[in-house]
Structures are given as structure tokens and as C-alpha cells.
Amino acid sequence: MLGDRIKFFKDKKQLSTKQLSELTGLTAAYLSMIENNKRTNPSKETIEKLANALEVPIEELFKEGQNINEPEEINSLEEEKSFKTIAAHFDGIEFTEEEEEEINNYIEFLLSKRKNRI
């Protein structure tokens, strides 16, 4: 879940909740609720603040069902497969690498929201 991923990256950077709070401008109490999966649908702005402070791409915070220590090559193959499925519906349109990344981020975000509603 999102909170588990945030906690993992926070611990990896050896940050305390207070330090992450200072970096993001979010309260320590709110961060704790996110980390403990008591707040499962933070705003896009909150997610961006967390990703920036943790120095990870947003999509890394939403990789569900994968081992956090899984090699990056495997993760990128799954992302590319997801994008190619969507891109097939836009036959003939070329996307830049940046656009592909934005599309993948949005797909992950939507799937995360859907999972939290169920």
C-alpha cells in the first residue's frame, strides 16, 4: 500500500517523520496516518510533495504487489507493457518519453484510487 511504500523510502533515506514533515510541509501526524494506511487517498499535491522529498518518481509510490527491492528492469517492463496497451488505442500517434511517463503515472494513480474505493 501507499503508506508502506512511503515508509520504506523514508527509512531508506534515514529520515524521521519529523524530518519528512519539514521537507514536505505536511504535519507529522498526517504523515503518520498515511504511513499507517489510515489515510489511503492523499491529494495529488501531497503525493508530489512526498515523491519530491523522498527523491523518487511518483510511480514508485504506487507499485502495488511488487517486492520493494525488486530490480528496476522488471518494474520498467511492466510499466512499458501498461503503456503499450493504452497506446495501441492511439494508433499512429507518437509519444515522447516524458509523455509516456506521465501516462504511466496517471494510470498508476487511477488504479490506486480504484483499489481504495473497493
- pLDDT by residue (tens digit) across 48-62? 999 999 999 988 888
d(CA 6, CA 37): 10
Per-residue model confidence (pLDDT) at position 82: 56
Domain chopping of the chain, boundaries: 2-117
pTM of the predicted model as reported, rounded to 2 decimal places: 0.54
Selection from 3, 53, 55, 2 nearest residue 24 by Cα: 53
What CATH number was assigned to the domain covering residues 2-117? 1.10.260.40
pLDDT per residue of the chain (118 residues) written in tens, 0 to 9: 888 889 889 988 899 989 999 999 999 999 999 888 888 788 889 999 999 999 999 888 887 654 444 434 334 444 444 555 565 556 567 777 787 778 777 777 777 776 666 4
Selection from 19, 25, 22, 17 nearest residue 45 by Cα: 25
- How far are the Cα atoms of 55, 92, 93, 99, 105 from residue 89, in angstroms, in the given order? 33, 9, 9, 15, 18
CA neighbours within 13 Å on the CB side: how many for 83?
21
